[in-house]
Amino acid sequence: MALALNKIIVSGLAANSDGAYFDAGSQTVAAGTDVVIPAGLYIMFPVNNLSVKASLDGSSFSTIMAASSVTGGVVISDGVNVKWSSASGTVTAQYLTINGGQSATGTYNT
Q: Nearest Cα to 69, choosing from 87, 42, 96?
A: 87
Supply the mean pLDDT for the chain.
86
The neighbour count for residue 77, using CB atoms within 10 Å, is: 20
38 secondary structure, DSSP code: P
pTM for the predicted model, two decimal places: 0.79
pLDDT confidence band for 9 (50 / 70 / 90): low
Domain boundaries, the chain: 30-101
Contact of 8 with 39, CB cutoff 8 Å? no
- Residue 38 makes CB contacts below 8 A (sequence gap 6+) with 77, 79
pLDDT at 31 over 50: yes
Inter-CA distances, 53 with 15, 38, 83, 94, Å: 26, 13, 5, 16
**80-95 pLDDT tens trace:** 999 999 988 999 999 9
pLDDT confidence band for 69 (50 / 70 / 90): confident
pLDDT of residue 17: 79
